Amino acid sequence: MFRPKFNFNNRIVKNLTFIAESRAFVINAPLVPEWEVSLRKEAILKSAHSSTAIEGNPLTLEDVSALADGREVMARRKDREEVLNYLEALDNIPDFASHEPFTQDDLLKIHSIVTKNTLNSPADEGVLRNRQVRVVNGLGETVFMPPETSEVPQLIDNFLKWFNSPDMKEIDSVIAAGLTHYEMVRIHPFIDGNGRTARIMATLVLYKSDFDLKRFFALDDYYDHDRPAYYAALQTVDPETVDVTEWLEYFTDGVAASIKTVKEKVLGLSKDVKVLKERGQVALNERQMKIVEWINNEGKITNRDVRNMFGLSNRAALDEISKLIELKVLKQEGKGRSVHYVLV
């Protein structure tokens, strides 16, 4: 089984303390549902933009937002596909998080989503690599040589045993995400798409451990702001000892910076807002967030819309709507066949 090597030094402990305090503030802050949806959407768009930009995708954040909304963007097909694929992978994180245990097939499925219609050979999508690869810099110089191809299946098996083990669950979730990110990059199990898959896996760990159930934190944005620092941090690990302490310093720096950004935004949103003092926090689950997102985009929602979104019966759809009415998030308008629901 994979056994990570690292030390808790002052920098990491200081970051983890700040992260825990800031996360508690964000999670417990009084927010109206529209703001929760806005913060979540912003984080998802930033993650998709930044994670693909790190790999050289030229699309802007505005382009990513347009693609997410179903609008056309003038760009190469591959560039559009990479962004749409990453958005799809992020959207599927709650589903993958429910898989116990998380298997190699799950990992391969994530890779197939991330790389769909973007690799030179479709046969390389969603499968472990069958030949040696190397990581090069802009000058074509090799900066990292991953393990031999023959070693990859056993390395992935060892990693997944740890990923599903009680040992992993006992580690601080931020540290576990950082370890997951690095080990996936180190093994480099795929011909291409390793970085994006590693970052999806780190995000999955944070969601799976209930750290970011509201999905407000865009870690990839920190990496993209200083790409040389990101790559340099990945290369701080001694290939002989595989001690990842320096990498975890950088990784926890990034999580702390991401949470600080969200905390400052939440402070700005909730400052002196009367409705928050009257209602307090309204916590929404994943399905309820999607309903509010739909209304934000379309202006209203019907029972039929809810049924189609989640494959529910008429009764089950009404139950979902009723819960949101009880929370004073939705209100009914119209009568008979024209009944629909809008945000309060």
pLDDT of 340 over the 50 cut = yes
Domain boundary among 204, 234, 269: 269
- Let me know if residue 2 belongs to a domain: no
Domain match, 295 and 245 both: no
The CATH number of residue 225's host domain is 1.10.3290.10
Domain match, 261 and 292 both: no
Domain hosting 331: range is 284-343
- Let me know if residue 1 belongs to a domain: no
Domain boundary among 269, 299, 318: 269
- Let me know if residue 177 belongs to a domain: yes
Q: What is the pLDDT of residue 106?
A: 98
Helices 173-187 and 152-163: crossing angle, nearest 10°?
A: 170
Domain match, 142 and 102 both: yes
Domain match, 96 and 45 both: yes
The CATH number of residue 305's host domain is 1.10.10.10
Coil, helix or strand at residue 330: strand
Q: How confident is the model at residue 158 (pLDDT cuts 50, 70, 90)?
A: very high
Domain match, 148 and 30 both: yes
pTM score: 0.81
Specify the residue for token string 């209203």: 300
Please write the tens of the pLDDT for every residue from 52-61: 999 899 999 9
| Count of structural domains, the chain | 2
Domain match, 198 and 312 both: no
Q: What is the pLDDT of residue 280?
A: 54
pLDDT of 276 over the 50 cut = no
Domain match, 101 and 211 both: yes
Domain boundary among 209, 242, 269: 269
Domain match, 159 and 33 both: yes
- Let me know if residue 278 belongs to a domain: no
Domain match, 73 and 199 both: yes
**What is the signed CA dihedral for 123, 51, 99, 131, rounded to 10 degrees?**
30
pLDDT of 145 over the 90 cut = no
Across the strands, what pairs with 331?
A: 342
Q: How far from chain centre, in Å, is Cα 208?
A: 11
Please write the tens of the pLDDT for every residue from 1-32: 899 999 999 999 999 999 999 999 888 887 77
- Let me know if residue 308 belongs to a domain: yes
Q: What sign results for the dihedral spanned by CA atoms 144, 145, 149, 152?
A: negative
- Let me know if residue 257 belongs to a domain: yes
Domain match, 60 and 177 both: yes
Domain match, 290 and 213 both: no
CA distances from 2 to 131, 175, 235, 252, 253 (A): 23, 15, 19, 21, 24
Domain match, 315 and 262 both: no
Q: What is the pLDDT of residue 172?
A: 96
Q: How confident is the model at residue 285 (pLDDT cuts 50, 70, 90)?
A: confident
**Contact between 90 and 52 (Cβ < 8 Å):** no
Mean pLDDT on 31-48: 87
- Let me know if residue 276 belongs to a domain: no
What tokens were used for 175? 């540290």
Please write the tens of the pLDDT for every residue from 186-227: 999 999 999 999 999 999 999 999 998 788 988 888 888 888
Helix and strand element counts for the chain (H, E): 17, 4
